[in-house]
Structure formats: C-alpha cells, structure tokens
Amino acid sequence: MSEFMKQMVNEVLSKQHSPKRNPPSRKTPAQEESSPSSAAGPVDIRRPNYQREQSKKRLSPLYRDSRRPTFTAGTGGRTPSEPPEKKADGQKDMLSSLQRLSLFQVKGLHRSSADGDAGELIGKSREGAEVWFYPHLHPKLAEWLNASGSRRCVGIVSSAVLRLGSLFIAEALLEDEPDIQSAIAWRESREEPFRLRLEAEEPDRLKRILREFYLRLNRSALRRVNAHLSRRPSALLSETLRLQDSRSAAVLEGVSRYEAVALLDRVLKEEPECPVRFAVEEKALLLQGEGEAVRSMLTRLKQEADRLL
C-alpha cells in the first residue's frame, strides 16, 4: 500500500514540474503555399551598396532613368519597364514628329518670303490717313495707280482729311531723295482730297520714307496747332499750293478761319508794314515771302496760338 501511494505522489509531482506544450496550429492553404519550404534553402536577400548606388545615380542620368520604377494607373502596383524594342519605336516616332515639324517650319519660312512681295499697310494715323507700301506691284495695278511701268515699287499716302501740313512733311522727307518720283492729287475728289504717290527702285529705301511719314503724321495729330516751314519750296509744293514766286513758305495748321484772323490781328498791329503775304485756308494759315520775314512771323503766330488757343 505504501508503495502504491508513493508511486501516485511521484506521478502527480512529475506532471506539475513538466512544461506545457501548445497544440500545433493549423495552417490555411494560402499560408502553406506562401511559406517557403525548409528544403528550398535560405532566402536570397539583396543587400545593395547604398553609396555605390547613389554615385551611379549622380554620374549616369541614363542609369537613373532605367532604375526608376513605373506604376500602373489606378492599381498602385508596379509594372515592368518597356522592352528596348518599344522604346526604340517611341524614339522613332518622336524623331518623325520632329522631322515633320522641321519641314513645316521650312515651308512656313518659304511661304513668308514669297509673301514679302505683297502690299502691306504701314499704318493708319489717328485722323484716318493710310500709308501703304507695294514693293512689287503688278503692272496692271501700277497702270491703274498711274505709276510708271519701269518702277513697280510704289508707296501711297491717302487721307480723307485735307491738311496743308502733309504737303510740307512730304517735301521735307523728299528733299534729299532726288531718285524718288512723287505725284500729289490735291482736292481732286471729296472722298480722297489728298493722295501722295511715291515710286522708287529700292524697296527698303521707300519703305523707310513711308514709315517716317506715318510717324510724323501721328505726331502732328497729337498737337492742337502745328507750324511747318519750307525755306525753298520745291516745284511739287509750289505747283500744288500755287505759290507766287516766293522764296519761303510756311503754314500754321490747326486754326479755324476766325482764329487765324484773331492771331493775324495781334501780330499786324505790332508790325503794320510786315512784308509777308498770307492766305486763310481750311483750318490753316498760309504764309509767303522772304525767308527771314516768314520765319519770324511764323514764330510769333505760333507763340500767340499756344498762349490763346
């Protein structure tokens, strides 16, 4: 009996001192497939050299682009980069696009050079005067404009507003240009009371003169009253204005008929024996006479106009 009890006590004590073992957990099929087998050997873990990779990225842009991962839109996952064949095709497409663009630019330059012979509007002044330039006018159109057939480079200044100052501007610009032919239509039509036609052999030269004419017309339009002086009027100016054998001519432009009378009244009362002849024109006062006398009277009239008007 004692032996039996002793054996029972030993069994109880041995169970209390023995460690407990957890029952084995059942793996799901997905976990069994994902877990590597012990027979497959150790996992190959890539351990890149960080400094070497960074140096390659700094030194080689092509290497940096090749190492850059690509992502699929909407999935967030990575997709392998395109094979070299597709990249080569993309480069060919890009080169063909550049070639088409280059061809288009060359054609565009050729087309613009061809249009260089066409007429162009140099500008339109604030008062509506138009300045046109025709570097190579067609013979039929040259004949219609009464231009000579040998000189097809033609410039036109047309205005619906009659201004004596335009005649003085034309004379000042053409004074040192004897090779440029000019013709003026003055008060020939109500729709176009002033038209100046210029003809030249050199297109660049004529275009420069037309641009300067346009600039001076605009500057004159900014002022209320303008003064123009011609010390020796040309045949063009003398014939147009029918000057009487005068050595000098001047115009005070921008004054009405009765404003011109008021200004003349002030000046003539100060100098009753003034030898300058005058004519009151449409919005202008025309002066004729000796050079110094005309210049002095024009200066005094301009001063009075700036003070009173």
Contact in structure between 183 and 197 (CB atoms under 8 Å)? yes
How far, in Å, CA of 274 to CA of 261, rounded? Answer: 15
Which residues are CB-neighbours of 208 under 8 A, at least 6 positions away?
A: none
Tokens of 46: 């890539």
Residue 65 burial by Cβ neighbours in a 10 Å radius (0-12, 13-18, 19+):
exposed
What CATH class does 116-222 carry?
Answer: alpha beta
How far CA 246 is from CA of 81, 89, 231, in Å, comes to 92, 83, 9
The answer to whether the 116-222 and 225-309 domains have the same CATH topology is yes
Ranges of each domain in the chain: 116-222, 225-309
Contact in structure between 287 and 244 (CB atoms under 8 Å)? no
**Rg of the chain's alpha carbons, rounded to an integer?**
49
Q: Write the Ramachandran bin of 245: left for phi over 0, alpha for psi from -120 to 50, otherwise beta.
A: left
For residue 266, report the phi and psi dihedrals to the nearest 5 degrees.
-65, -45
Query: Per-residue pLDDT for the chain (309 aa), expressed as one digit of tens each?
Result: 566 667 776 776 666 555 555 555 554 444 444 444 444 445 555 566 666 666 666 655 554 454 555 444 444 444 444 455 554 555 555 545 444 433 333 333 333 344 567 889 999 998 889 999 999 888 888 888 888 766 679 999 999 988 999 999 999 999 989 899 999 998 888 888 999 999 999 999 999 999 999 999 999 988 999 999 999 998 889 888 888 776 899 999 999 999 999 999 999 998 888 899 999 988 999 999 999 999 999 999 999 999 988
- Stated pTM of the model: 0.60
Query: The domain 225-309: what is its CATH number?
Result: 3.30.70.1710
